[in-house]
Amino acid sequence: MSVLDDLDQFQVLEDKIDGLIRLVADLKTEKESLEEKTHILEERLANTTEQMEGLKAARERAKQRVIGLLEKIDRLEN
């Protein structure tokens, strides 16, 4: 093997390593972006869940008021 062949092999190896370094950097950037999106979606889910629980509670209070009013009407009829 000649010195030029050895240098070519080192160049190929260096190019592959450079490619891997770029890939790792890109993956880190993508991971950070996905983590941020996940955090935002988790916050939205928590807010939506809280709103849903509030609406369920309001609906239950309204239901109880309607039942109370119906009972009052029923007592008037008797």
Q: Which residue ranges make up each domain of the chain?
A: 1-78
pTM over 0.85: no
Q: Residue 77: helix, strand or coil by DSSP? A: helix
Note the pLDDT tens digit of each residue in 17-53. Answer: 999 999 999 999 999 999 999 999 999 999 999 999 9
Phi and psi based region of residue 60 (left: phi greater than 0; alpha: psi -120 to 50; beta: remaining): alpha
Measure the CA–CA gap between 60 and 47, rounded to whole angstroms: 20
The b-or-e profile of 37-65 (16+ CB within 10 A means b, else e) is eeeeeeeeeeeeeeeeeeeeeeeeeeeee
